[in-house]
Amino acid sequence: MKDEKPEENRTITKRSPVTGEVLGEFAVCSERQVRQVVAKARAAFRPWADAGLKHRLAAMDRVKNVILQNAEQYARRISDDTGKPLFDSLITELVSVPLFLDHYRKKARKILAPRKIPTPIVFQHKKSYLEFFPMGVIGIISPWNFPFQLSVIPMISALIGGNTVVLKPSEITPITGEIIREMFSEARMPEGVVEVVQGDGSTGSALVNSDVDKIFFTGSVATGRKVMEAAASRPIPVELELGGKDAMIICSDANLERAAKAAVWGGLLNAGQMCISVERIFAVEQIHDHFVELLQSEVQRLKLGGPQEDADMGPITFSRQMDTIIRHINDAKSSGAKIITGGHQADRPGTFFAPTILADVTVDMEIYREETFGPVLPVIKVKDEDEAIRLANDHKYGLNASVWSADLKRGRRLASRLECGQVMVNDVVSSVSNPALPFGGIKNSGIGRYHGPDGLLAFMHSKAIMVDPGKVKHEPFWFPYAGKYDDALQAFRALVQGRLLGVIGPLKRMNKINRHHG
């Protein structure tokens, strides 16, 4: 992907990942156009921020209604853009936005409200408060795998707090970028509050280098690094939602039928092109062989096909991703992994890859260390769950994970030991759709959190305020210092020892010295 300056008058040709036919040409936004659009968003910021939360939530209700009215049309076009089944476009792309909007309609006022904060006794008579104010213009850069929800959820989160937004959708899925532009326009958002700049990496780079106040980036680690580096020069805050290599740990007492179905859905949903895809299955040795058999029978039932074929699994959306999948599988094979099923491109037109199960996967293989982003389930045999936890944590990614056990206390204990942003016990993936739970990664999986209260606060500055009634002339700690040291020491000791009343006497005496000096 290009990240040099975007030239004027370039276009992106969008092809169907199912048939290869050309679906449209999309103009690439130049650096000059990005600057103009950001200036428009800057001009719209103050009126939008000052319009108040009620006004903004009413606008969000209009967005929700537009989604409801257009759900079928949007699902079809998102599926044309990505190749994913219509069911996935509806459930994993469209449904989550109204869920989040409903949640924030109920919670935003409380999350964003100014709050009273405790004040230590040494600051007698003062009161402390915390309040939040919007950052300004937020640049949002999104990927192609869930191009609707990974753009719209950060957008609405930023908008609710009073920010304006410029979205740079992925060049691989420009049709969805247009849907988002139309959706906000149909919801009658004021001019400049929501802008969409189509283009590739060069447009993304122009956005990061423009007059935005924060960048919210979802994509690969390599691009995330570039975004952070560019943002450092101003400097502006960045939030990075990056890749994963999610562990699924199957204990011997797990419901294996359920776990196998979950592994297949969690690993092959959206043809495995998902940051929180199941990508490392740790099965303890007692149940390993039986579990692999169950996986195999589940995978054999899957139907591959395009959105018109009522299939379970669609094509690889971004054709270059195919090279990574094939490279990882070849490396695994030559290093001793066993292909249980699949392992090759599907025998049909379009960029389809057969759903694949790999057994005997070991930690030195590329398929274990790197994100594959394809329909592959690598299984690793472990002695026990302690070994699984140790291996799961000994990895550069830390996004999502799941643990499987009939003993829920044990499940929770294991979940607590995992180093990542979120864990499910006896389920996969779905926690990302609970709007009340924060989402994000650690290590190479990213920096920052959104969703839940963090989702709104990610786009707000906090401001600390302390108020004194302003009636007395002096503070005990102000000049002059002469004659106050012993009392200050006494106050310090009382404070550190938790004898709070012991602080009051020395403070009074220090104030008396102040008065004496006029």
Known catalytic residues are: 241, 275
Q: Are strands 115-117 and 127-134 parallel, antiparallel or unpaired?
A: antiparallel
Give the sheet arrangement for strand 400-404, strand by strand: 338-341, 356-359, 376-382, 278-284, 246-250, 400-404, 422-425
Residue 428 and residue 277 in contact, taking contact as beta carbons nearer than 8 Å: no
Q: Which is nearer to ligand NAD, 203 or 514 (CB)?
A: 203
- Which residue number places its CB atom closest to ligand NAD? 204
Q: Which is nearer to ligand NAD, 218 or 431 (CB)?
A: 218
DSSP letter for each residue of 284-348: EHHHHHHHHHHHHHHHHT--B--GGGT-SB---SSTTHHHHHHHHHHHHHHTT-EEEE--SB-SS
Q: Which is nearer to ligand NAD, 50 or 323 (CB)?
A: 323
Handedness of CA 434, 82, 164, 235 (dihedral sign): positive
Residue 25 and residue 14 in contact, taking contact as beta carbons nearer than 8 Å: yes
Minimum separation from the CB atom of position 431 to ligand NAD (A): 13
Q: Which is nearer to ligand NAD, 81 or 200 (CB)?
A: 200
Closest CA to 295 of 339, 246, 326: 339
Minimum separation from the CB atom of position 19 to ligand NAD (A): 22
Minimum separation from the CB atom of position 486 to ligand NAD (A): 57
Written as six digits, the tokens of 452 are 């839940």
DSSP letter for each residue of 120-148: -GGGTT-EEEEEEEE-SEEEEE--SSSTT
Minimum separation from the CB atom of position 420 to ligand NAD (A): 11
Residue 335 and residue 378 in contact, taking contact as beta carbons nearer than 8 Å: no
CA distance linking residue 171 with residue 176, whole number of Å: 10
Q: Which is nearer to ligand NAD, 326 or 339 (CB)?
A: 326
Where along the sequence are the contacts to ligand NAD (CB under 6 A)? 1, 3, 141-145, 150, 168, 170-171, 200-201, 204-205, 208, 218-220, 223, 226-227, 241-244, 275, 371, 373, 399, 441, 446
Minimum separation from the CB atom of position 370 to ligand NAD (A): 10
Q: Which is nearer to ligand NAD, 275 or 389 (CB)?
A: 275
Minimum separation from the CB atom of position 482 to ligand NAD (A): 59
